[in-house]
Amino acid sequence: ELGKARFGEGKIDAGAAMASKKWKERGEVLDNMFLILMMEKDSPIKLPSGDYMSVMTDIKTLIKKDTNVLLIIKAFKIVKRMAEAMRENFKNFGPLIMQEILARFKEKKVSALEAAREAADAVAKTIKFPDAIIERVMECLEDKNPGVRSETMLFMYRCSKSKKVIFPKSFVKEFITKVTKNIEHSEKNVRDGAYKMLAVMSTKLDAKIINTFVSDFKEDRMKLYQAAVE
C-alpha cells in the first residue's frame, strides 16, 4: 500500500524516506508509488477508501520544499493519478495540495510546468471549484512571481469554461478586480492570462456586472478584451 513500504539502506518508512536528505531515497519512495498506482497505464485506476492524509501531507511537503525538479515532476504525476483514481474522495486532500501546486507555477522548466498544470486541473475536478481554493487563488493573483500570476489565471480559465462552474457572488467583485489589475502588469503572459479570464467571466455574469470592470478600458485594451471574448 502507499506509504507502507520501507526504503534505503536503513529501510526507513515512506514518510521518513520522503523527508530524507538523500535525493535517491526520496526518488525511490516516489518510484514505488508509481508502481503501486500503475502509472504506466492510460486508464485511471481505482484506489480503495482509506486514510491517505499522511501520504498526501508528505507529498505536499516535498512539492513545497524539494529542489530536485525531477522529483517534483514525479510528485505532480502522482497527485494527478491519485486525484483521477480517488475522484470525489480526493476532495479532502485537494485544497491542501493545491496550495503548493499553485506556488510551483513559478517553475520555468517546461516539463515541470506542464506536470503542475495537469496536476492542478485533475485536482480541480475533485473539489468544489472554485470555492474551495478561491482564497489561495486570490493570493496568487498578487504573487511577486509573474509566472504564478499568469499560470494561475490560465488554470482558472481552463477550469472555469464548463457551464457547470458557477462563481459565487460573494467573491466575484474582489476576484475580477484582482484579475483586471493584472492587465496593467509589465509581463505579457500575465496580461494575456487576465484577458482570457475576463473573457470567461463575461460568459458567466450579467453584462452589466462585467461592464463595470471593463467600460473604462482604453481603446487598445478594449480591443484585446473583445478579441479574447471572441
The tens digit of pLDDT for each residue in 25-35 reads 899 889 888 87
Place of cell 503548493: 100
Tell me how far apart the alpha carbons of residues 93 and 56 are, in angstroms, rounded to a whole number: 7
Write down the pLDDT at residue 67: 94
The tens digit of pLDDT for each residue in 87-108 reads 888 998 999 999 999 999 999 9
What confidence tier does 7 reach under pLDDT thresholds 50, 70, 90? very low
Residues in CB range of 160: below 8 A, 6 or more apart? 130, 167, 197, 200, 201, 204
Name the residue among 168, 81, 167, 96 with its Cα closest to residue 127: 96
**Choice between 170 and 10, residue whose per-residue pLDDT is larger:** 170
Considering the chain, what percentage of its residues have pLDDT values greater than 90?
A: 69
Residues in CB range of 141: below 8 A, 6 or more apart? 149, 152, 153, 175, 178, 179, 181, 182
Query: What kind and span of H or E run contains 6?
Result: strand 6-7
Question: Count of alpha carbons within 13 Å of 135, Cβ hemisphere only?
Answer: 3
What's the pTM?
A: 0.89
